[in-house]
């Protein structure tokens, strides 16, 4: 059984990756400071509680658990928050990644799968977005991810590392078994907020921007099931066992859904209209983002199999209902 270090493994995406790793016979070693992660999401391997900038603890963890491969999810990841906290984002996302890479250099770990983001593309000039699209981030968060990719690529050239950066589009959904899911405070993501309004009629759902250049005026995004993302990380690890170099790869469903379309789908499931409030768009919000996922299929043999939007909403709703029952 191979030990895999998962930084940020107590978070939303990281915990789903850990479950997928365990189901494939790996032992996930979670490294998380639990600032945004959840201790009760660590179910499939040990937890090392520590900061991503703690190089000494990272090095000890890599050596003590004889780790050769890393999945790096630890990051501050809220686009809107990043405009207000640029130093925190650069310190955590960029400096933290440097600490991790430095610790890897001092140990036997040479393979790393990077949790990156479609935010590196900013407002794309052409759709769908390919890996060759121009990197022009418009948020601090996206800028940190673009810098991290550049740093990792240089480490591949100079330290015999091998790496894949997985550029997620909009991660969504939840574990179909209901063990883990989206649980942020405050919750920045669209689908959990729609569901919160669906289960609590007194709570309005806010749509930020109804004046985008899209068919219904609301932003269009590419939603990919978190389990599909988790599966891609395992396939990336397997690829790196036999291949050197650095590759960025898009992960999405390959199609876009508007915010208003999401609202309509939830309304059809609950049988009533939601309490909607329209507000001005947020800084840094592109009108349309959806992916070309040809590279993921070509390199990894990956295709989304759970990312139909109805399936994403259904799994999210199941987890949300479980959370409501636990609180009541």
24 token code pair: 């494939």
DSSP 69-93: EEEE------HHHHHH-HHHHIIII
d(C-alpha 137, C-alpha 77), whole Å: 14
Residue 184 confidence (pLDDT)? 79
> At residue 52, does pLDDT exceed 80?
yes
Mean pLDDT, rounded, for 298-325: 94
Per-residue model confidence as pLDDT tens digits over 246-297: 999 999 999 999 999 999 999 999 999 999 999 999 877 889 999 999 999 9
141 carries an active-site annotation? yes
Domain 190-221+254-327 CATH class label: alpha beta
> At residue 196, does pLDDT exceed 80?
yes
The upper half-sphere exposure of residue 283, i.e. CA atoms within 13 Å in the direction of its Cβ, equals: 11
For residue 177, the tally of other CB atoms under 10 A from its CB is 11
Give this prediction's pTM: 0.96
Residue 95 confidence (pLDDT)? 98
Q: Is the peptide bond before 310 cis (omega within 30 degrees of 0)?
A: no
**H or E element that contains 17:** helix 12-23
User: Where do the CATH 3.40.50.720 domains begin and end in the chain?
Assistant: 3-171+223-251
Residue 288 confidence (pLDDT)? 94
Overall fold of domain 3-171+223-251 = Rossmann fold (3.40.50)
Q: Which of 59-63, 182-186, 211-215, 272-276 has the lowest mean pLDDT?
A: 182-186
Which position has the higher pLDDT, 189 or 169? 169
Mean pLDDT, rounded, for 217-237: 98
Residue 186 confidence (pLDDT)? 77
Q: Of residues 141, 239, 246, 319, which has the active-site annotation?
A: 141
Any residues with CB less than 8 A from the CB of 120 and at least 6 apart, and which? 135, 137, 142, 145, 146, 149, 167
> At residue 325, does pLDDT exceed 80?
no
> At residue 327, does pLDDT exceed 90?
no
Mean pLDDT, rounded, for 200-216: 93
Average pLDDT over all residues of the chain:
95
Q: How confident is the model at residue 322 (pLDDT cuts 50, 70, 90)?
A: confident
User: Where do the CATH 3.90.25.10 domains begin and end in the chain?
Assistant: 190-221+254-327
Helix axis angle, 190-199 to 259-270, nearest 10°: 30
Per-residue model confidence as pLDDT tens digits over 132-147: 999 999 999 999 999 9
* CA distances (Å), origin 173, targets 7, 16, 166, 300: 21, 11, 18, 22
pLDDT > 70 in the chain, percent: 99
Mean pLDDT, rounded, for 73-99: 96
pLDDT > 90 in the chain, percent: 90
Residue 101 confidence (pLDDT)? 98
Residue 286 confidence (pLDDT)? 86
Q: How confident is the model at residue 57 (pLDDT cuts 50, 70, 90)?
A: very high
């Amino acid at each position: 059984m191979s030990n895999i270090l998962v930084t940020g493994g107590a978070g939303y995406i990281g915990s789903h990756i850990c479950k997928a790793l365990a189901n494939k016979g790996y032992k996930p070693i979670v490294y998380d400071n639990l600032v945004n992660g959840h201790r009760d999401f660590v179910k499939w391997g040990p937890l090392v509680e520590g900061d991503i900038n703690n190089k000494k603890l990272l090095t000890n963890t890599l050596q003590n658990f004889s780790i050769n491969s890393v999945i790096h999810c630890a990051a501050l990841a809220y686009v809107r928050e990043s405009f207000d906290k640029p130093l925190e984002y650069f310190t955590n996302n960029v400096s933290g990644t440097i600490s991790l890479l430095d610790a890897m250099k001092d140990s036997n770990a040479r393979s790393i799968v990077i949790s990156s983001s479609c935010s590196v593309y900013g407002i794309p000039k052409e759709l769908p977005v390919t890996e060759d699209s121009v990197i022009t981030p418009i948020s601090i968060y996206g800028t940190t991810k673009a810098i991290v990719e550049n740093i990792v690529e240089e480490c591949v050239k100079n330290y015999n590392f091998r790496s894949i950066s997985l550029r997620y589009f909009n991660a969504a959904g939840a574990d179909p078994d209901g063990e883990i899911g989206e649980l942020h405070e405050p919750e920045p993501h669209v689908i959990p907020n729609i569901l919160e309004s669906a289960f609590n009629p007194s709570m309005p759902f806010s749509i930020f921007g109804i004046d985008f250049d899209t068919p219904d005026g609301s932003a269009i995004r590419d939603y990919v099931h978190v389990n599909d993302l988790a599966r891609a990380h395992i396939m990336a690890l397997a690829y790196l066992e036999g291949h050197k170099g650095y590759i960025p790869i898009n992960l999405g469903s390959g199609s876009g859904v508007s915010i208003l379309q999401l609202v309509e789908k939830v309304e059809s499931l609950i049988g009533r209209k939601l309490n909607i409030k329209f507000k001005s768009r947020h800084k840094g919000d592109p009108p349309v983002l959806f992916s070309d996922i040809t590279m993921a299929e070509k390199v990894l043999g990956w295709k989304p199999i759970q990312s139909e939007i109805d399936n994403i909403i259904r799994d999210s709703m199941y987890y949300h209902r479980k959370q409501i029952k636990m609180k009541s």
